[in-house]
Amino acid sequence: MTIGGQRHRRLPCHECATQGRMEAEMDLPLGKEVAQLMSAMRFRNWHHVMLAAGCALVLSLLVSSHWQYAVSMDAISGIKSQRDRMDRLDALLISLLDAETGVRGYMVTGKDAYLEPYHASIPEIQALIPIIRKDAVEEAYPVEFVAGLEEKVATKLNVLATAVAERRARLGSSEGQGPGKSAMDDIRYLIGQMKQKGASDADGLLAESIRAVNLTRWSTIALGVGAMLLLIAVFSLILRQFHLRAEIAELLQGENQRLEAEVSRRTADLTAMATYLSSVREQEKGRLARELHDEMGAILTSAKMDASWIARKIDPQAMAQIRERFDRLVTQLNHGITLKRRIIDNLRPPLLEELGLTASLQAMVDEFRASTGLVVIFDGPEDADLGISGDRALALFRIAQESMTNVRKYAQARSVRITLSRGHRNVRLEVSDDGCGFDEAAVAGTHGIAGMRYRVQMFRGSFVVNSAPGEGTRIVAELPIV
Ligand SMILES: Nc1ncnc2c1ncn2[C@@H]1O[C@H](COP(=O)(O)OP(=O)(O)OP(=O)(O)O)[C@@H](O)[C@H]1O
Ligand SMILES: [Mg+2]
């Protein structure tokens, strides 16, 4: 039931509790939501950084896979060339062995058929030598090795050629073919077939490796590109979500502001209406008080004067007969006059205008103490020190009046304390009792407390009721001085 700057963040302090609740329902959750969305927006840049990092990772994956591919391909082609070079060396050796074997066969048998491998080997050897030299130039093996090899091969061929020439010169040649020669031809043919098969298998394996490396390379590229696209898609989704959230936050904020403006406008309307009604009520009370005072007061006073005149003029014997009725008439008239005065006092605080708020409250407290027998403590500054306008003084007086009436009607209190004090910028009235208290939430549809609150709102002050069953009641009203 608090109205004031402390409880409400945005509405000015004078706005009412109902509207305060409206605001609490509308403003605070929306405000929180908006704040959360706004703070989430601040992290949007991080997503750019994360996307860049993700793309960089994927790119480095692609680069490293390409590098691995190049290395593997180099290794495979290196292995292949190495194998070719070994094959050439093997072929050279085999050709030399063939030539030697052929020459040996010829030397032993004298048959020209044995020289066939020798003759076939010479062009082969001559073709191989430049290729092996080229291999050496490509740094497969030291050039001096090849030079040495060439020299030795030439020497060997010379030796063989000399041996063949000498043999032929000495003994001549004969036609025909020995069984050893044809067996050797078969062996050579079979080994040639087997080597071809082995070479083609090795080629197949190498081709298989190249295919696997290529497959790995393309699948890595496909996966990397896919991951990058996915990353970009996720990022654009997140970005879209952020944009949507920002739009929603903007809408919420706009709606919030609109509602706040609406609440402020309605509050201003209500305050203006309450001010108007209150002043009309006060005017009406003043008019009634004047009528009662002038008309009824005059009638009662004149009736009382007439009664006194009758009492003086009437024959004492006749008076004795009506004495009892006459006295009752005078008593009733006195009651009427007292009642009239009390009603007037209630309608228009008699001392407020003449003596000020403190004196009026003091008078009310005295009357309250006398009529209830409760302990009533009043504490207030000199009126001259209060320095508040007449309408503010009247509002505080009415609040004290209603509070005291409630104490009288409901509190069952033993003591009441009323404190009026002046602060730097406001005047504060507190009425507290040690009575039965009440459940604030259970109060509805009454006008006393609501009236107090509206009076405070008229001056943009704050109003608090603290009460709970068994714990007394405390009412605090604070009005700004200007
Ligand atoms: N000092 C108090 N001690 C105990 N209960 C109180 C006190 N002041 C108010 N109440 C409780 O709060 C309720 C609301 O008070 P409020 O002055 O608004 O209305 P009311 O006095 O019942 O009616 P009205 O003032 O309109 O004639 C009361 O009915 C009463 O139950
Ligand atoms: Mg009341």
Q: Give residue-wise pLDDT tens across range 389-399.
A: 888 999 999 99
Q: How far apart are CA 297 and CA 185, in angstroms?
A: 161
The answer to whether residue 252 scores a pLDDT higher than 80 is yes
> In the prediction, which pLDDT does 217 show?
87
Q: How far apart are CA 237 and CA 231, in angstroms?
A: 10
Which atom of ligand 1 lies nearest, measured to the CA of 449? 18
- Among 346, 405, 412, 446, name the best residue to mutate to test ligand 1's pocket (greatest count of ligand atoms within 8 A of Cβ): 446
CA dihedral sign, ordered 318, 322, 324, 330: negative
> In the prediction, which pLDDT does 437 show?
96
- Among 406, 430, 431, name the best residue to mutate to test ligand 1's pocket (greatest count of ligand atoms within 8 A of Cβ): 406
Query: Which residue reads 């040690």 in tokens?
Result: 434
- Tokens read off for 233: 């898609």
pLDDT band for 402, please (50, 70, 90 cuts).
very high
The count of residues in the chain is 482
The answer to whether residue 43 scores a pLDDT higher than 70 is no
Work out the percent of the chain whose per-residue pLDDT is above 70.
88
Read off the pLDDT of each residue in 276-296 and give the average, rounded to a whole number: 86
Q: Give residue-wise pLDDT tens across range 333-351.
A: 999 999 998 888 888 777 7
> In the prediction, which pLDDT does 5 show?
34
> In the prediction, which pLDDT does 355 show?
83
- Tokens read off for 235: 């990022």
Lowest-pLDDT range of 130-139, 170-179, 201-210 = 170-179
Q: Give residue-wise pLDDT tens across range 183-192.
A: 777 877 888 8
Q: Which three-class secondary structure state does DSSP give residue 392?
A: helix
Read off the pLDDT of each residue in 36-58 and give the average, rounded to a whole number: 71
Distance 130 CA to ligand 2 centre (A): 125
> In the prediction, which pLDDT does 20 show?
41
Q: Is the domain 356-480 a CATH 2.30.110.10 member?
A: no
pLDDT band for 30, please (50, 70, 90 cuts).
low
Distance 87 CA to ligand 2 centre (A): 119
Q: Give residue-wise pLDDT tens across range 433-458.
A: 999 999 988 888 888 998 899 889 88
